């Protein structure tokens, strides 16, 4: 994981919140085609264009309090870069989160599932498919390699939300969105999802 840098700190960006960059949407035909194309690998040292794409991605993080991840194609560039974070708030509220993950870029990430730990269904959403959520089957445990912004290799084995997040974001780099391979019955509006969750919670309360 990358060390945190002062400019990456959420506090800094919350105070001087930059304008939100445009995020490409699946609902628009041309943008949908762009999102479904494969991204190309990044070379080191990072050039100015790549650095400016990374700044756009940082601005997405700065503009969404519930941020967990964004990929370069979502801000309009076919580069194999993702930016992820599992904040303390999300760690405390998501029971699949195994750890706090500081905000960091992964460049040219590759994933290898550790199949013996199986797969699970869980709900996902995406900035490129606003107002919708879907239940997606993902590997529970993933081994990843990637480069950090200095070009140093990073490796790790991650589980739970961290593993799901990497699969979702690396999917974007391969031109795949979460709803491309799920049962449409499990692709619902956020409104409907909240209804289901409220019913489930009242069901739990009634059992007490």
Rounded to a whole number of angstroms, the minimum distance from the CB of residue 134 to Zn ion is: 11
Report the residue closest to Zn ion, judged by CB.
Answer: 126
**101-113 vs 132-139, strand pairing mode:** unpaired
78-96 burial code (b ≥16 CB/10 A, e <16): ebbbbbbbbbeebeeeeee
Q: List the end-to-end C-alpha distance of the chain, in Å, as a whole number.
A: 42
Rounded to a whole number of angstroms, the minimum distance from the CB of residue 172 to Zn ion is: 6
Task: Tell me the two tokens of residue 33.
Answer: 């085609």
Which one of 48-56, 92-100, 121-129, 184-192 is the stretch in contact with Zn ion (CB under 5 A)? 121-129
- 170 lies in the site for Zn ion, by CB under 5 A: no
Binding mask 73-102 for Zn ion (x = CB under 5 A): ------------------------------
Rounded to a whole number of angstroms, the minimum distance from the CB of residue 177 to Zn ion is: 6
- 126 lies in the site for Zn ion, by CB under 5 A: yes
Which one of 58-66, 76-84, 123-131, 181-189 is the stretch in contact with Zn ion (CB under 5 A)? 123-131
For residue 108, give Cα distances in angstroms to 60, 125, 179.
Answer: 20, 23, 23
Rounded to a whole number of angstroms, the minimum distance from the CB of residue 136 to Zn ion is: 11
Q: Which candidate, 95, 91, 73, places its Cα nearest to that of 82?
A: 73
DSSP string, 136-159: EEEESEEEEEEE-TTS-EEEEEEE
Q: Point out the residues that are catalytic.
A: 169
For Zn ion, give the closer residue by CB, 126 or 142.
Answer: 126
For Zn ion, give the closer residue by CB, 115 or 181.
Answer: 181
Q: Which residues bind Zn ion (CB under 5 A)?
A: 126
């Amino acid at each position: 994981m990358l060390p945190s840098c002062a400019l990456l700190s959420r506090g800094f960006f919350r105070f001087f919140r930059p304008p939100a960059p445009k995020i490409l949407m699946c609902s628009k035909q041309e943008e949908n085609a762009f999102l479904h194309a494969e991204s190309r690998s990044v070379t080191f040292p990072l050039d100015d264009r790549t650095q400016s794409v990374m700044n756009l991605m940082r601005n997405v993080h700065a503009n969404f309090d519930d941020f967990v991840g964004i990929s370069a194609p979502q801000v309009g560039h076919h580069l194999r870069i993702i930016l992820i974070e599992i904040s303390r708030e999300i760690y405390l509220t998501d029971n699949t989160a195994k750890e706090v993950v500081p905000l960091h870029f992964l460049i040219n990430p590759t994933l290898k599932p550790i199949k013996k730990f199986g797969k699970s269904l869980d709900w996902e959403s995406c900035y490129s498919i606003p107002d919708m959520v879907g239940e997606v089957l993902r590997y529970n445990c993933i081994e990843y390699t990637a480069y950090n912004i200095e070009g140093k290799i990073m490796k790790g084995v991650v589980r739970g939300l961290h593993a799901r997040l990497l699969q979702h974001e690396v999917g974007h780099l391969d031109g795949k969105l979460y709803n491309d391979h799920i049962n449409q019955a499990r692709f619902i509006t956020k409104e409907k999802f909240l209804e289901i969750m409220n019913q489930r919670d009242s069901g739990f309360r009634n059992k007490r």
